[in-house]
A and B are shown apart, each in its own frame.
Chain A
Amino acid sequence: MTSRFAKPRFAKPLAAISLLATCLAFGGGAQADQLDRVKQRGKLIAGIKNDYPPFGSLDAKGEIKGFEIDLAKFVAKQIFGSDTAIELVPVIASNRIELLNAGRIDVIFATLGKNADRAKVLDFTEEYYKMAGIVLLAARDTPVKTWEDVKGRKLCGIQGNLYNRTLSEKYGAETVLFTGTAEMFKAFQDNRCEGIAFDGPILTMKVAEDGWKDKYRIALETFDYIPIAGGVRKGEAAFLATVNKAIIAAEAANVLTSAEQSFHMGASDYVTKRAAEAAAKVKAN
């Protein structure tokens, strides 16, 4: 009796385990070249921001527009000859690297700051922007004068920002962190925190808006600048080289300098200098 029942009882879990093992083996072992896969698919899947002007946000017509969107489309054009051969996947700071490494997206163009920790889990492309790492937006009459003054104060921010740890560990701020910028701005306007500590460009844009400019100001400038680069999965040398080439081509073709103008970011020395260098590089080849 027991032997008759023993087999089916163990067969199911065994089958499940072997299925899982097969999945793991394929997941880890399938090492087709990323570039081939992208080319075969016929489109580039890029992780971008859609709540982050001027880098990527929805316009009045519901289309995603921005500095990094222009870049991503140019990269797609370089690879496929058409800037419509692209799928834009909105990502947020807290899920973009996971989405990349899970294979859901080919490349991150989502205000990804370059640092050593991240370099362990992905490969950075060429840098294409230099961003004020963190600034503080607060009420016009805020008593905060230096970064040391934020000690014990509630500051709104975004989960996954590089500087959250510095803010709480070094400066002793009490961080109130959200997943999206809409929630962060709403919570700040409701006075759930005394200030917003977040990336410079978006806060500079925000503070110029109606309803914001007469009440708030950038109270503290950044203590650190951070290079922004794209990100691809580790060890995909051919794909990385292709994307890098496309980024330099974009710089050389003044795609980024004109994007800075069309999205009212002001012409930064960094982007202008890189455009000149890229143009020289392209000419040399």
Chain B
Amino acid sequence: MTLDFSWLADPLYQQWLLRGLGTTILMSLLGIVLMFIIGIAGAACIHFRLPVLETLTTILVELFRNTPPLVQLFFLYFMLSEIGLTLTDSATGRSIPLFSGFTCVVLSLGLYNGAIAVEIIRSGLLAVPSQTVEGARSLGYSRLQTFRHVELPIGLRMSIPAMTNNVVSLIKTSSQAVLVAVADIMYGATQIMLETFRNLEVMILIWIIYVVIASLAVVAARRIAAAVRIPGYGM
């Protein structure tokens, strides 16, 4: 068995792979931002036991956490326009779907991993010692101030290891973008495999690329964890 990587010299393939890589990274970054927004907002709703919002968040978390991300993506991509979420294209006057494929992928990543992030951050908040919270309260911090300045900072630090897993899972899940025709790295790879039939070689390359991206994310998370470490807190 010989490996042939000569297809890598084709400028068109390089362009597909580089653009795809850019799309994958951009989708993942936007997905991570959305995931954190959803995660923190959701965890706060549950933590403060906000009426209505707490129940709503719990239902949404269960809904998005317990359904396959691909089903959610297909729902966003194919079904939303059916329910009428469309806008009118000014150039042609036709009604086009509100969300492009790219937006759908970012949304599905944000929602799926965001639902998991809600639980992760909530567990981090629960791990903040009650004495610390009571101490803050006795110093005159309001509930919101305690959350903002004490519980959330410590809770987020506590949740870094679990959150790293979630971020890595998000990056890997982004590869399903190929199924809604978003030209990510997997899309480029599929095209190259179909043209060159060098499936093994292309898969090896894709494998390495995903390992590198995910490893970089893990390293970044470790750096962040080290930088925000509370000396003497054992984290």
Chain A interface residues (CB < 8 Å from chain B): 24, 28, 93-94, 97-98, 117-118, 120-121, 156, 159-160, 164-165, 169, 176-179, 183, 186-187, 190-192
Q: A178-B181, A183-B78 are known contacts. Are A191 and B190 too (CB-CB below 8 A)?
A: no
Whether A191 and B94, one on each chain, are in contact in the complex, defined by CB atoms closer than 8 angstroms, is yes
Query: In the complex, which residues of chain B have a beta carbon less than 8 angstroms from the beta carbon of A183?
Result: 78, 179-180
Whether A190 and B1, one on each chain, are in contact in the complex, defined by CB atoms closer than 8 angstroms, is no
Min Cβ gap B14→A in Å is 14
Taking A159-B194, A160-B194, A178-B181 as known contacts, 15 extra A-B pairs with beta carbons closer than 8 A to each other, sorted by chain A number, are A93-B194, A94-B190, A94-B194, A97-B197, A117-B195, A121-B197, A159-B190, A159-B191, A169-B12, A176-B181, A178-B180, A183-B180, A187-B78, A191-B97, A192-B101
Whether B191 and A192, one on each chain, are in contact in the complex, defined by CB atoms closer than 8 angstroms, is no
Q: With the chains together, A187 CA to B179 CA distance in Å?
A: 12
Whether B89 and A28, one on each chain, are in contact in the complex, defined by CB atoms closer than 8 angstroms, is no
Q: With the chains together, A121 CA to B199 CA distance in Å?
A: 11
B172-190 CB mask vs A (1 if < 8 Å, else 0) is 0000001111000001001
Whether A190 and B197, one on each chain, are in contact in the complex, defined by CB atoms closer than 8 angstroms, is no
6 contacts between A and B (CB under 8 A): A121-B197, A159-B191, A160-B194, A178-B179, A183-B179, A192-B97
Q: A117-B197, A183-B78 are known contacts. Are A190 and B97 too (CB-CB below 8 A)?
A: yes
Min Cβ gap A184→B in Å is 9
Chain B interface residues (CB < 8 Å from chain A): 1, 12, 77-78, 81, 89, 94-97, 101, 178-181, 187, 190-191, 193-197, 199
Query: In the complex, which residues of chain A have a beta carbon less than 8 angstroms from the beta carbon of B89?
Result: 191
Q: A192-B97, A192-B101 are known contacts. Are A187 and B191 too (CB-CB below 8 A)?
A: no
Query: In the complex, which residues of chain B have a beta carbon less than 8 angstroms from the beta carbon of A121?
Result: 197
Whether A190 and B195, one on each chain, are in contact in the complex, defined by CB atoms closer than 8 angstroms, is no
Report, nearest first, the 9 A-B pairs whose CB atoms are least far apart. Answer: A176-B181, A160-B194, A121-B197, A191-B96, A190-B81, A191-B94, A190-B97, A186-B78, A177-B181
Min Cβ gap B190→A in Å is 6
Q: With the chains together, A183 CA to B12 CA distance in Å?
A: 26
Min Cβ gap A14→B in Å is 20
Q: With the chains together, A187 CA to B96 CA distance in Å?
A: 10
Query: In the complex, which residues of chain A have a beta carbon less than 8 angstroms from the beta carbon of B196?
Result: 117
- Among A24, A117, A177, the most chain B Cβ lie within 10 Å of the Cβ of A177
Q: A98-B199, A117-B197 are known contacts. Are A190 and B78 too (CB-CB below 8 A)?
A: yes
Q: With the chains together, A117 CA to B7 CA distance in Å?
A: 13
Q: With the chains together, A192 CA to B194 CA distance in Å?
A: 24
Q: With the chains together, A28 CA to B1 CA distance in Å?
A: 8
Q: With the chains together, A179 CA to B81 CA distance in Å?
A: 20
Query: In the complex, which residues of chain A have a beta carbon less than 8 angstroms from the beta carbon of B78?
Result: 183, 186-187, 190
